[in-house]
């Protein structure tokens, strides 16, 4: 019996090792998975099936926006080539770099450039939700909302009451929650109230279903609101009271969110409706959801970029790589987490060594200690290259912003980590506007006053026990 178990264990381990080697993942990821398989053969294989299989070879979702709404997007995509060709955005020094970013997102993501947008930026949950709740109250036709985390707490109940009332008034209300991010956070009574009022809702991955559990590692991290097909919101904040007051763990919450009007709303609408379809609902391509926008000549140019584990290209990561490597003067980055891959590390080091001013600001008060400890293992080479690393101490920093020079910036849901780049479904807005960049930079400078700067000496004199702890955590960084 023992011999049988020994050989069975050997065959399981050997088979798992062969599968992992044939997947041709990056060396760090391969080594991490091999280590888990060697230590825990059977459980390791199960973890690999749940968390490690490269879904680019398979379909997690049925359709992507550019496939499902090709007819709706075609005019915008056709006009984009003309806009890029005739672009007058920025000065001559920055124009070529802008065009690189535009073309990258067009070719990798079919991300249409829209030029008629008005944009409002929000830096606290208090100002965001005051504005959002007011516009939800005034919705006349439709409300579409999609969130990674949705809680039935004080804020969630306030929004629910509005949605119930609007649905009873005849407004079409559709909601998407991520199955993992919102798991256990929405009460049965809350969902019953929504359903009884006629609010339609779905989980992007319902963990009560077996197949969804096999895809548990791939989260829908998007935050999208579309009101009457003319106003949209996206950015870093989910539905939960802590995004306003910091909750029990933090004194305050610092984030960045955006409100959009213009043709960019059409793009976000296609993203939501595609996800709605992929949740098992009918395909909605009605003209009511795509009203003609009154084009403005002097709006803010922007693209909406999406990426996911089964996207052909990791377009948001490629965009950030492009921003770092094409900067002429400076790159400012805000992200709560920092677990980059080798390409982003080399881009940051190369830019800093070339004389580009690089500032990386991340959460100085962690919500996930393993990710926070892992980030420390990347600091020393960056500090040697000249990157300034800042820990925000004024509460919890959840903002996801990258600013390049005076002309390109991106705000969205994507963190500076491998999970966001490759495992999550993310959405970012990419702006080509000096005023937006200056406003973001001004807020970055204000945030810097609440930061503690990490020094090279601090890293070199860190206790061996802490370095070992951090390095052990890093072993699993490709899995996080």
| Ordered DSSP codes for 233-248 | EEES--BSTHHHH-TT
Task: Tell me which of 24-33, 63-72, 353-362 is least confident.
Answer: 63-72
Report whether pLDDT(2) > 60.
Answer: no
Q: Of these residues, 166, 400, 417, 433, which one is catalytic?
A: 400
Does the pLDDT of residue 375 top 60, yes or no?
A: yes
C-alpha torsion angle, residues 27, 31, 37, 40 (rounded to 10): -150
Q: How many other CB atoms are found less than 10 A from the CB of residue 188?
A: 8
In CATH, the architecture of 315-479 is 2-Layer Sandwich (3.30)
- Residue 335, pLDDT above cutoff 80: yes
Render pLDDT for 393-436 as a digit per residue (tens, 0 to 9).
999 999 999 999 999 999 999 999 999 998 899 999 999 999 99
**Domains 65-80+117-298 and 315-479 are alike in CATH topology:** yes
Residue 117, phi-psi category: left (phi > 0), alpha (psi -120 to 50), beta (remainder): beta
Give domain limits for the chain.
Answer: 2-53, 65-80+117-298, 315-479
- Answer yes or no: 405 catalytic: yes
174 is annotated as an active-site residue: no
* List 97, 178, 228, 255, catalytic entry: 228
Residue 212 is predicted with a pLDDT of 45
**Percent of residues, the chain, with pLDDT higher than 90:** 64
Q: What is the DSSP letter of 425?
A: B
Domain 65-80+117-298 in CATH 3.60.40.10? The answer is no
pLDDT digits (tens, 9 = 90+) for 441-479: 999 999 999 999 999 999 999 999 999 999 989 877 655
Active site residue 221: yes
Query: Which is nearest to 219 in space by CA: 367, 397, 60?
Result: 60
Q: Average pLDDT, whole number, for the chain?
A: 86
So what's the pLDDT on residue 423?
Answer: 87
**Residue 192 annotated in active site:** no
Whether 452 contacts 3, CB under 8 Å: no
| φ, ψ for residue 416, nearest 5 deg | -90, 65
Active-site residue (options: 398, 417, 433, 443): 398
User: Is 251 among the residues known to form the active site?
Assistant: no
How does DSSP assign 41-60, residue by residue? HHHHHHHHHHHTS-GGGS-S
Local confidence band at 62 (pLDDT 50, 70, 90 cut-offs): low
Q: Which of 255, 405, 433, 447 is the catalytic position? A: 405
Alpha helix positions (H), 229-333: 242-245, 264-278, 315-326
Q: Among the listed ranges 206-220, 274-288, 296-310, 439-453, which one has the minimum average pLDDT value?
A: 206-220
Catalytic site residue from 72, 174, 205, 223: 223
Give the pLDDT of residue 210.
Answer: 43
Greater model confidence, 410 or 19 = 410
- Reference 183, options 159, 158, 147, 143; nearest CA is 147
């Amino acid at each position: 019996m023992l011999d049988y178990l020994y050989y069975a264990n050997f065959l399981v381990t050997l088979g798992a090792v062969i599968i992992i080697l044939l997947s041709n993942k990056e060396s760090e990821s391969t080594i991490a998975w091999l280590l888990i398989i060697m230590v825990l053969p059977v459980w390791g294989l199960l973890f690999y099936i749940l968390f490690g299989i490269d879904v680019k070879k398979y379909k997690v979702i049925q359709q992507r926006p550019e496939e499902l709404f090709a007819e709706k997007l075609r005019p915008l995509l056709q006009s984009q080539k003309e806009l890029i060709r005739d672009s007058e955005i920025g000065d001559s020094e920055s124009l070529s770099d802008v065009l690189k970013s535009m073309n990258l997102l067009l070719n990798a993501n079919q991300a249409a450039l829209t030029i008629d947008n008005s944009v409002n930026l929000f830096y606290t949950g208090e100002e965001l939700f005051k504005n959002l709740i007011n516009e939800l109250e005034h919705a006349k036709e439709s409300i579409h909302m999609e969130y990674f985390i949705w809680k039935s707490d004080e804020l969630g109940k306030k929004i629910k009451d509005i949605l119930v009332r609007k649905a009873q008034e005849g407004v079409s209300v559709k909601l998407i929650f991520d199955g993992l991010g919102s798991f256990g956070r929405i009460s049965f009574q809350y969902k019953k109230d929504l359903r009884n009022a006629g609010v339609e809702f779905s989980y992007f991955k319902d963990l009560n279903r077996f197949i969804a559990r096999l895809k548990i590692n791939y989260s829908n991290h998007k935050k999208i609101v579309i009101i009457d097909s003319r106003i949209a919101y996206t950015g870093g904040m989910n539905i939960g009271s802590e995004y306003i007051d910091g909750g029990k763990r933090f004194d305050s919450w610092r984030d960045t969110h955006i409100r959009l009007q213009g043709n960019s709303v059409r793009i976000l609408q296609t993203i939501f409706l595609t996800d709605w379809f992929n949740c098992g609902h009918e395909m909605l391509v009605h003209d009511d959801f795509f009203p003609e926008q009154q084009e403005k000549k002097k709006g803010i140019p922007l693209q909406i970029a999406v990426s996911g584990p089964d996207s052909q290209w990791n377009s948001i990561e490629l965009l950030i790589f492009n921003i770092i490597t094409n900067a002429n003067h400076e790159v400012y980055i805000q992200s709560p987490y920092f677990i980059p891959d080798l390409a982003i590390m080399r881009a940051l080091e190369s830019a800093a060594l070339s004389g580009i001013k690089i500032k990386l600001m991340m959460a100085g008060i962690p919500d996930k200690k393993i990710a926070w400890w892992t980030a420390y293992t990347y600091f020393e080479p960056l500090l040697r290259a000249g990157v300034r690393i800042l820990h925000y101490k004024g509460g919890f920093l959840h903002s996801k912003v990258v600013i390049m020079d005076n002309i390109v910036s991106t705000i969205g849901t994507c963190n500076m980590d491998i999970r966001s780049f490759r495992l999550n479904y993310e959405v970012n807005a990419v702006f080509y506007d000096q005023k937006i960049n200056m406003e973001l930079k001004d807020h970055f400078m204000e945030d810097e006053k609440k930061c503690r700067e990490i020094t090279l000496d601090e890293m070199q004199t860190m206790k061996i026990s802490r370095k070992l702890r951090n390095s052990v955590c890093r072993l699993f960084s490709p899995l996080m």
